[in-house]
Amino acid sequence: MTETFGARLHAAMAARGPFCAGIDPHPGLLTAWGLTDDVDGLERFARTAVEALGDTVALLKPQSAFFERHGSRGVAVLENVIADARAAGALVLLDVKRGDIGSTMQAYADAYCDPASPLCADAVTVSPYLGFESLRPVLDTAAAHGNGVFVLALTSNPEGPEVQRATTADGRTVAGTMLDHVRAANAGAEPLGSVGVVVGATTGGAATGGSGEDLAVGGPLLAPGIGAQGATVADLATVFGAALPQVVPSASREVLSAGPDPRALRAAAQKTIDDVRDLLFRASTGA
């Protein structure tokens, strides 16, 4: 049987440390690296990031939109990023945040979760706000191929609470309902479920109106917001509480701003990995 994404991620986190490095080649970073905002600049940026980080981090997260903005040639670069990162030993989380219904959602699933597609990654981000069951094509296709899905739950953008912290008829928050669905999807999975959630590291510990234990869903917890968005590694303990061992902190600009020197990129990623490992050690020992 194909090893599940949850099992592969668990092993990668143990070997390389719990950290996800984003690859977000937005125009400002291309300029900062002395590159042109075109396909040539995009390719040089992406190749440098993968060469610097692919053998260091557990998870690489290319943001699809920054490749798509360059048209078909940009998407071709993204295909190479996925292949090269996996060849270097990193798992790839493709950040696309797709959310649709029926045959359209199945088409997204075929694009990102079926190994027959050159855009297939180890995992993909999705939006559940057309209803959790609208994600069924992606959930089932990913599971059939041993891949993973990260469901947006409590995002770090300031507009998110308008929907995510709204209260349902049974008194739960909308985000809390999504966490319950993910928890059910991961029931019985060991050592880690393959359906994760995205919870911003800037959410301040009030995620579902309770303690960090509410965030334990049996799968990985992707935590964007470290660095440029204002959160620190120390904030993770406050936000996630008892669920801290399942957290995969994510940073993009915090690492990428160290480029284009590959050694500086690798050092920036390694510093965050070391800081997270130290936090986990102190949390487990009570130090």
Active site residues: 97
Phi/psi of residue 251, nearest 5 degrees: -145, 145
C-beta of residue 214 within 8 angstroms of C-beta of residue 208: yes
